[in-house]
Amino acid sequence: MNYRHAYHAGNFADVVKHVVLSRLVEYLKQKDKAFRVIDTHAGIGRYDLSATEAQKTGEWQGGIGRLVDAAFDAPAAALLAPYLEAVRSLNPGGGVKKYPGSPLIARHLMRKQDRLSAIELHRQDAAKLRALFAGDFQTRVIEIDGWLALGAHLPPKERRGLVLVDPPFEEKGEFDRLVDGLRKAHKRWPGGVYALWYPVKDRKAVAAFRKVLVQSGVPKLLDIGFEIRPPSAEPSLDGSGMVVVNPPFTLEGELRTLLPALHKLLVVEKPAHWTLEWLAA
C-alpha cells in the first residue's frame, strides 16, 4: 500500500476519532488498576502540518485548524480538554503546526502504570515510531501486520484496556476484515473495549457493514456517524464513523454533548448529520 496519513492528519475524521479515543482513555483512568492501549495501525505518531503532504491537501484546516482556538460551552469544553491538551503539548507557541496521531494522544493521557502497544506494518513508519518513543519504557513499538495483533496480542496481561483499529481502507475488503478481526478479537478478549474506525465514502458499503455487525453476535455495539456533507457525485470522504464495543456507560451521554458541538464547527455542506445508534445493546 502507498497510503500515507501525513496527507490527512488533523482532518475532521481525525478530530472525531481522537476525541472519542480521549474519552475512552479518560474513562479507563477512573480506576487505579493499570490498562493497556493497543493501536493496530499506529502510523508515525506525530505529523508536521507545515510539511508538503499536509499543505498539499490542507485537510487539517477543516479539522483541527477550526477546533484548536474555537469557543465551546462549558460542558463540551470540559470533555474536549484532554484531547486539546494533547494537541497543544506539541504546539507550545500556540496555533497548530504539529499534530499527534492516535498513539501519541493515548500516551499523553496515560498514567505511569499504563502501557501502550503501537503496531505498524510499514518499515519506514515503524522506524519513525520507534524514534518517537525511544527510551519510553511504557510504550512498545511492534512492526507487524495490525490485523495479526488482534489475535497474537490479546488479551493483554493487564486485562483492562482499549484496542483501536484504524485501517487505511486502501485495499478491497477492509470492511470484511474489520468484522472478521472483531469476531476473533472478541472471542479472545470479550471484556475489552474496541474502537473501530471506518470511512463514509460508499454509503451502501457502510450500510452493509453495519448490518453484518448487527448479525455478528457481538453485544454492546455503539455506532457513531459523522457526516460533513451530503453524498458526493464522485467517491469522497463525506464522513466517518466509529463503532465502539463495550463502551463505557458514560460515553453515550458525553457524545450527545460533543457531537453537536463538533458538527456545528466542522460541517461543510448541508444536509449532513451526526448519528449515535446502538447496533447491539
Identify whether the C-beta of residue 218 lies closer than 8 Å to the C-beta of residue 182.
yes
Order of strands across the sheet with 193-200? Answer: 139-142, 115-119, 36-39, 161-165, 193-200, 239-245, 221-227, 274-280
120 is in an annotated binding site: yes
Nearest in space to 138 (alpha carbons), one of 164, 105, 100, 107:
107
Residue 93 annotated in ligand binding: no
Helix residue ranges, H only, 40-197: 52-57, 64-67, 74-88, 102-109, 123-132, 146-152, 174-188
Asked whether residue 236 is marked as a ligand-binding residue, the answer is: no
Say which DSSP state 157 is in. Answer: T
Q: Residue 193 in contact with residue 161, Cβ under 8 Å?
A: yes
Say whether 166 is catalytic: yes
Distance of CA 185 to the CA centre of its chain: 18
The answer to whether 145 is a known ligand-binding residue is yes
Is 122 annotated in a binding site? The answer is no
Instruction: Tell whether 216 is in a known binding site.
Output: no
Helical packing angle, 203-214 and 174-188, nearest 10°: 20
Number of Cβ within a 10 Å radius of residue 170: 9
Crossing angle (nearest 10°) for helices 74-88 and 12-28: 100
Catalytic site residue from 14, 166, 223, 238: 166
Do 104 and 127 touch, CB atoms closer than 8 A?
Answer: no
d(CA 42, CA 248): 23
Judging by DSSP bridges, how do beta strands 239-245 and 274-280 pair with one another?
Answer: unpaired
> Which residues does the annotation place in the binding site?
18, 41, 102, 120, 145-146, 166
Which sequence positions are flagged as catalytic? Answer: 166
> Which residues does the annotation place in the binding site for S-adenosyl-L-methionine?
18, 41, 102, 120, 145-146, 166
